[in-house]
């Protein structure tokens, strides 16, 4: 009898542990096969203060799957399901295309779709197993699209709150002027980091403890409003402190820490409210039903199909071995190449660069050609941090030159009494483009050709007045 109880206990433990170990193995395999994508996530997410929470997200996701395994809600499939395999094949194809086309948003979300589809292929479907994987969306650094919206909302809210302080305030765009100085509500003051954390914590709490839809929506709304309000109070308080300390307070140089001091008390209040709304008797807990011994067994055909599809979409081998040139990363010191005007592009990642001089008409141009061999997913002309000219220069106007697939974008720049003409051209498999959007579309169309090399051609000339002579000389050159 004792031996039977021991075997039943071991079988029950196996039925709990095996599905979770399967999740752990799945995450490990997919991650190792897609190291280039994870590298970009690390580069753009984990080292950015806005996504400082990203280190915790994978561990939280895995812990949630462990809880699901304990509750007997995570069980292997015993037969092959067609729909999940179709979804996995589709997401794998999208990952393959987007990674070869170097579309950041594409391969980030495609990788997340691949992981989710793999879980649906290997495990019996229920809505619980979707959330822990979807929770990984908080790692993806795509939330920046909300910055302009949140920034404008913050400007309007702080402007209104300042009317109650009695401090004379003048607002222009994102700048708030008070007698003691000028404050800028920049992108970092949009409150995005507080919103992300509020959404992540509230959705996690709802998943674990709140099962009523109305209560869940109420709790989620309180979290969002509280995150926004905390940021508005932070900005208003900093402006008031700046006024009353004549801008001498140490907080003038450490805005973020002060914000977290305000945000943490709100989190305690949020959890207090959440505890009142929670359905503790219905919370995620161990199932009373006896664990099925088959839950610890996985169908071999399902694993074989899933692994074959995932291997097809893997980015590591195809990208890391796609070229022989080393990927270089520029620094601001690159501006030393042009000591006369200090006018050069800031290209973050590239494989090779060539600098030459050429004379067009009576104008001497300095030509810089950057080559991108796709050795790294960020090794591309459309990298978000690339700048075609320094911020100290102002763009006066732009125009396009097009003749026989020889397309150039002309940028007329001004810095104090200096004038310059910059001509930009992107090249990909014999085609030329004047902007990165057209280049991206071409790369998507050509993703399956295996040709991933792109070039950025950048010309600059100093102008005496309005650069019209230089524009005409370049136009004649393009037409001939």
What's the distance, CA 154 to chain centroid?
22
Distance CA 161, CA 238 (A): 12
Q: CA Rg, the chain, in Å?
A: 28
Quick check: helix, strand or coil at residue 118? helix
Distance CA 255, CA 273 (A): 28
Q: What pTM value is reported for the model?
A: 0.81
CA distances from 100 to 139, 415, 426 (A): 22, 39, 17
pLDDT tens across the length of the chain (480 residues): 455 555 555 555 566 688 899 999 999 999 998 999 998 888 877 655 566 667 788 888 999 999 898 888 888 888 888 899 999 999 999 998 898 888 999 999 999 999 999 999 999 998 899 999 999 998 888 887 888 898 889 889 988 888 888 888 888 888 888 888 888 887 777 888 888 888 988 998 999 888 888 999 999 999 999 989 988 988 888 888 888 887 777 766 666 667 777 888 888 888 888 888 887 555 555 444 444 555 556 566 666 666 666 666 666 655 544 444 455 555 433 333 344 457 889 998 898 999 988 887 777 888 899 999 877 888 999 888 899 998 888 888 888 888 777 888 998 998 888 888 899 999 998 889 999 999 999 888 888 776 778 999 998 888 877 788 777 777 777 655
Q: Give the start-end residues of each E strand in 198-333.
A: 328-329
What's the distance, CA 209 to chain centroid?
29
């Amino acid at each position: 009898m004792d031996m039977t109880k021991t075997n039943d206990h071991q079988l029950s433990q196996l039925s709990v542990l095996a599905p979770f170990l399967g999740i752990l193995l799945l995450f490990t395999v997919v991650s190792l096969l897609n190291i280039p994508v994870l590298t970009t996530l690390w580069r753009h997410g984990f080292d950015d203060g806005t996504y400082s929470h990203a280190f915790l997200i994978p561990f939280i996701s895995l812990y949630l799957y462990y809880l699901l395994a304990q509750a007997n809600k995570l069980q292997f499939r015993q037969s092959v399901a067609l729909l999940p395999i179709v979804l996995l094949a589709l997401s794998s194809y999208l990952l393959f295309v987007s990674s070869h086309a170097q579309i950041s948003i594409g391969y980030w979300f495609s990788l997340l779709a691949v992981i989710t589809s793999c879980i649906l292929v290997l495990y019996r479907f229920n809505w619980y197993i979707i959330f822990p994987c979807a929770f990984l969306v908080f790692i993806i650094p795509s939330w920046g699209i909300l910055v302009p919206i949140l920034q404008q909302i913050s400007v309007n809210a702080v402007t209104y709150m300042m009317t109650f302080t009695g401090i004379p305030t003048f607002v222009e765009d994102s700048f708030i002027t008070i007698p003691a100085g000028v404050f800028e509500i920049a992108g970092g003051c949009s409150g995005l980091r507080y919103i992300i954390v509020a959404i992540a914590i509230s959705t996690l709490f709802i998943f674990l403890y709140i099962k009523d839809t109305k209560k869940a929506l109420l709790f989620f709304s309180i979290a969002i409003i509280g995150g926004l309000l905390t940021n508005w109070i932070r900005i208003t308080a900093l402006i008031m402190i700046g006024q009353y300390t004549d801008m001498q307070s140490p907080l003038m140089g450490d805005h973020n820490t002060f914000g977290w001091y305000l945000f943490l008390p709100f989190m305690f209040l949020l959890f207090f409210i959440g505890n009142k709304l929670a359905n503790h008797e219905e919370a995620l807990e161990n199932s009373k039903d006896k664990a099925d011994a088959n839950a610890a067994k996985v169908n071999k055909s399902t694993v074989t199909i899933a692994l074959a599809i995932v291997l097809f979409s893997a980015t590591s081998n195809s990208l890391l071995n796609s070229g022989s040139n080393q990927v270089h990363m520029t620094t601001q010191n690159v501006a030393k190449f042009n000591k006369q005007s200090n006018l050069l592009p800031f290209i973050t990642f590239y494989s090779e660069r060539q600098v030459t001089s050429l004379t067009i008409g009576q104008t001497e141009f300095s030509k810089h050609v950057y080559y991108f061999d796709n050795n790294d997913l960020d090794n591309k002309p459309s990298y978000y941090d690339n700048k075609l000219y320094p911020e100290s220069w102002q763009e006066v106007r732009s125009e396009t030159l097009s003749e026989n697939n020889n397309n150039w974008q002309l940028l007329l720049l001004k810095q104090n009494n200096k004038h310059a003409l910059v001509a930009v051209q992107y090249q990909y498999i014999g085609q030329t483009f004047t902007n990165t959007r057209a280049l991206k579309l071409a790369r998507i169309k050509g993703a399956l050709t295996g040709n991933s090399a792109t070039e950025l051609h950048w010309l600059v000339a100093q102008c005496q007045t309005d650069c019209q002579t230089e524009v005409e000389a370049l136009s004649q050159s393009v037409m001939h």
